[in-house]
Amino acid sequence: MDIVIPLFDRFEPLDAIGPYEILAHVPGATVRFVAPEPGLVQDVLGALPVHVPTGYSEVEHCDVLLIPGGRGARTLAQDAGFLDWVRRVHTGTRFTTSVCTGALVLGAAGLLNGLDATSHWGAVAELEAYGAVYTPERVVRRDRIITSAGVSSGIDMAIRLAALLSDETTARAIQLHTEYDPQPPFDTGSVAKAPAEVLERARTLARNLPRPGFPPAGARG
């Protein structure tokens, strides 16, 4: 069972690493990372360079394609070569999936037109511009396509996917092994629950993400 996760400059680390941690435990599964070009890619936070030895063009098919998000996803959504590859690979997958703004790539590839889908709450307008019908759920499955909301929701999606790829007992065991038992200290994990001042602070934090090669806004040195 071949699971492929593309990485790219300015990817959101938990979008990729969270599902990787879950799916790597699925019996018989191999998780591979690919990139636009073999070599180093840099995460959106600016401190996690990852060496990816395989270019996406080397992959002809896979069982699961998982597109993470991050600011770099918007660049990929305008990359005609990458979108052609996504469309080709999707024809043979068991499941094509996304986390966060990775849904914009699926949308740009034409895979979400007319479908219910989810993404990060800050990308709703962009998602719907690709013809998707935004649904404020954490994980949305429509046949072979599964989208998940922002960042941490990729773990929820991966556990559901683990059940589809194996069985529910195995997925439950993976959840237990990773001790995924969320007990957040604050009940502000969705737009529906967050007060106005928290929502505005979240938007400020997103605007102030560092650019690779530059210090974060407000950093000293």
Q: Is the CB of residue 126 less than 8 Å from the CB of residue 104?
A: yes
- The closest alpha carbon to 65, from 39, 37, 85, belongs to 85
100, 111, 112, 132: which one is catalytic? 100
* Cα–Cα distance for residue pair 102/66, rounded to 1 Å: 8
Q: Which residues of 93-109 are buried (b: 16+ CB within 10 A; e: fewer)?
A: bebbbbbbbbbbbbbbb
Write down how long the chain is: 221
Give the containing element (helix H, strand E) for 157.
helix 153-165
* Cα–Cα distance for residue pair 71/16, rounded to 1 Å: 14
* Cα–Cα distance for residue pair 92/139, rounded to 1 Å: 22
* Cα–Cα distance for residue pair 113/109, rounded to 1 Å: 9
Q: Is 100 a catalytic residue?
A: yes
* Cα–Cα distance for residue pair 18/213, rounded to 1 Å: 25
Please give the positions annotated as active site.
100
